[in-house]
Structure 1
């Protein structure tokens, strides 16, 4: 250290002389002839509440602006001596749950993140209180680059850290995130398949394309049969049938009517092919019609965004400024851009699900969040769901906790989360819920 000091380092020392001692003390040094991204700062904390302020001071300092910032070590004892953290979050069952009594937020007991936080507080000796973001949003990026909601509260050091947030590249530019502990994709819910109109049951066994081919065959075979008879049997007695009679013979044969055909070889080969084809088609139709009338047909389900945008459904998301909105908004994929342009936000989770259940509306949200609420409030006593949840997923992201930029004790939380993962605790709780 002494040799470095003599040869190549310019020491800079900001000394604070005050009574009582300052909340934090910064000791910084940098190389005399090298850019600012080779600076090192040491922080001594007297008050854990000021850790965010200390890191903001460093990052805004002229000698540190534009540099790449790394937390090389946190030498504090992983014992927070009963310090109280402010944890910003919103209700996101089954991960973060709470209820309010007046202005007091009371955490629930049976949610994934609540359980993790409670166990960490015992291990690391800290307490915590839940707070809500002032705008009631999870957080999306504004034009000026800052964030709203939960992410904005952590970014501005209005809270110490958050509970579950979707870890995205944009968010990690503003806050530090813990390791992920659960992969959560986006999906959507629609109404359950409904009984189709029985008045159309006679048409339902065949698709429109098959019906078009069937009708075209009936219309065209009659004139073709007439031409074949005229070309190959003009010398026979009785004479070949007229064009109208030939069409009527073909139509009658389709419905198994007894028909007397011309005796020539070519007409018989032609009509034999036709009769065999019609026999197969009519037999299939009767079998499918019987099945349709026995078990009434249901409307098709939607299981992918491609099917959704091609349907007559509208779609939307919950208006919380969350990562699902940001991901759709910033995506360059044409399909996702089309989905974003058609979004019709709905006000609350239950109202969104009710709208999806009762109308032609698809509610787009996170899978576990959606399936948990459907299981709790939209499932009958016999276990029958009131909605259909699509099987297709998009945008799978990891859930983690957002922490103040440059948070020095993030690795302590990461270590505890990793222990939960390795023990199978999180997987077990998620599967149970």
Structure 2
């Protein structure tokens, strides 16, 4: 029996290319599926010395869709597939796509269709019906273009894997930070402390400037509340972990909104043009769309402001639950910031449906980004994704000049942190 082509020996230069990155750098697994042997020979020549992100490219061959299925069963970590359409059957390549996406449930591997018979698989039809990542005619592929396609595919795959890894770590971190079941007596004490702080107005807020990284102008101000309690000053995020009291959380949101509107009014009275938006996180998980819209409208009206004065911060699940309210508030000029992106599991479809105005890159992917490759990958991916969707990206937690310069070079729109301006009490 003839061994599958992906098990056959490779040219000598394949070993040489692996040595480029040293023994500690595993190769990228790329699979070429095509029934024309000359295509394999040319592709090997083009990619002989190719590498990406310090790792060599290991090209394997399959001369049919059947061989490709056997290869993928043995190599689940394949990053990129260069796939012909017409092989042992006219639709063999397309059926292989279905097998990869539906049977293997592999949504990460990048699939690039390369066809010499476009009439058998028209681009518009294929792009619409199949989950592929690119479509090219073989006659279009110069050596330079083929190399660019491979590198782009590997970069996308690396980004997807980095985001998945970050989400997994974040989920574990969230579980670890929760501290187990909440002690109900302790929770009641915290609620009493927060209610007392509300009644006496004995809570504080700090203003953290949000800086336009291209012009260095102040574009917005994030309000960070500190609520006194027996545990010390509590941030909004910590409060959300400690209590789920609907009435209390709504009261805290109203108090923060009113104080934010007072600050926004003061910014406009100062004559600063354009006046910075005031951005605040909302705590309540139980407000209906109508309640949220009414609360924001009331606070704006009391301060004599238009919607352009405010930015509201939501996590992904919170924004998803308030999608209709968000649309209505955006129509009034209020901007919406999606926070903690990269930490929560979210599909691109969900992100498009949420339609935020800004995506905030969590500080976990910002701090020390110049020395942590995996963080740089995630940060670049979020910036690129934001710009693809036509929204702004904001880097949170910029603490040194190196990280600041990284985000400037990468085209991030906004930044906040001590490297730009420290938070100050207001």
TM-score normalised to structure 2 length: 0.22
Kindly indicate which of the two structures has a greater share of residues assigned to helix. 2
The structure with higher relative contact order (CA 8 Å, sep 6+) is: 1
Q: Which has the larger radius of gyration?
A: 1
